[in-house]
Amino acid sequence: MKKKISLLIAMSLSAVMILTGCASSSKKEEVKSTTEQAATKGGTFKVGMEAGYAPFNWTQTDASNGAVKIEGSSEYAGGYDVEMAKRIAKDLGKELVIVKTEWDGLVPALTSGKIDAIIAGMSPTAERKQTIDFSNNYYKSDLVMVVKKGGKYDGATSIQDFKGAKITAQLNTFHYTVIDQIQGVAKQPAMDNFPAMRVALESGMIDGYVSERPEGVSAESANSNFKMVEFKNGFTTSDEDTAIAVGVAKGSDLTEKINKTLAGISEEERKTIMDTAIKNQPAAK
């Protein structure tokens, strides 16, 4: 009789353990599903940019004109790139986080996973495509030269008018490579960023620097001593050089999602966003 009772108790305990195990497994699956759902719908979208290339991106002291707080800083980032980043983050259902990063550090930050995307006025060149992927273009502009207003090169109409001129451009950009198209130019060492080039131009260290039209307009607005020179006979460039796209990690599923957002922003709206960015840049006030 005791053996029968013991057997019944053992069978009951086994049943309880099995049921408990099933409930525990079900609970784990439920938690896992909830976590995956939260990761898809929530979280952050970390975007890297210099925050020093107006009107594409810049640094300011407050949240005016829709600026976004820079991670780990009391400052904010504003500009065309920030507005694009806000649209993309909204469609992704994620919180936008701006990570201020030096130009040379943007690609390493992306490949290491420190940021999710580069939205920094970056061109999708063949060389960069070897390391990272790009979205469709979200802007395209022509190359210009920024010089001193009323100076020797103010009235230039061709890049060849800069023979003998001290010209530079930003380090590790195609802007710097096209300087070689000017015959007899006095090519200067590349500089880290645009604020540094503006200081060099103001002080007379250089006669001009290569830039894109939006930055040229920005430079004129920021300093009445500067003049943007547009060319009838300009630099030879490819579409990939003058276009600007969002950089993402190789094989990222963000590419398709970002392209969907960009497709919903018309050319007219992009122009309006850029015009507003030029108007709102802090140095223009």
* 109 C-beta neighbours (distance < 10 Å), count: 17
Same fold, 42-140+241-284 and 143-229: yes
Taking only the tens place, the pLDDT of each residue in 37-86 is: 333 457 999 999 999 999 999 999 999 999 999 999 999 999 999 999 99
pLDDT of residue 31: 36
Check whether 102 has a pLDDT greater than 90. yes
Question: Cα 255–261–267 angle (5° rounding)?
Answer: 115
Domain spans in the chain, listed from the N-terminal domain onward: 42-140+241-284, 143-229
| Residue of 108, 107, 100, 103 whose CA lies nearest to 46 | 100
CATH value of 143-229 in 3.30.70.20, 3.40.190.10, 3.40.190.80, 3.30.565.10: 3.40.190.10
38-42, 159-163, 248-252, 254-258: least confidently modelled range: 38-42
Q: Give the whole-angstrom CA distance, residue 118 versus residue 72.
A: 18
Q: State the maximum Cα–Cα separation within the chain, in Å, rounded to a whole number.
A: 114
Superfamily of domain 42-140+241-284: Periplasmic binding protein-like II (3.40.190.10)
Interacting residues of 202 by C-beta distance below 8 A, sequence separation 6+? 223, 225
The per-residue DSSP string of the chain comes to: -HHHHHHHHHHHHHHHHHHHHHHHHHHHHHHHHHHHHHHHHSSEEEEEE-S-BTTTBEEESS-GGG-EEBTTSS-EEESHHHHHHHHHHHHHT-EEEEEE--GGGHHHHHHTTS-SEE-SS----HHHHTT-EEEEEEEE--EEEEEETTSTTTT--BGGGGTT-EEE-BTTSHHHHGGGGSTT-EEPPPBS-HHHHHHHHHHTS-SEEEEEHHHHHHHHHH-TTEEEEP-SB-----HHHHEEEEEE-TT-THHHHHHHHHHTS-HHHHHHHHHHHHHH-GGG-
* Cα(17)–Cα(29) distance, integer angstroms: 18
Q: Give 224-234 pLDDT, tens digit per residue.
A: 999 999 998 79
Residues 86 and 80: their CA atoms lie apart, in Å, by 10
Which two structure tokens, joined as six digits, stand for 97? 């986080």
Average pLDDT of every residue of the chain: 87
pLDDT in tens, 127-160: 999 999 999 999 988 899 999 999 999 999 999 9
pLDDT of residue 29: 44
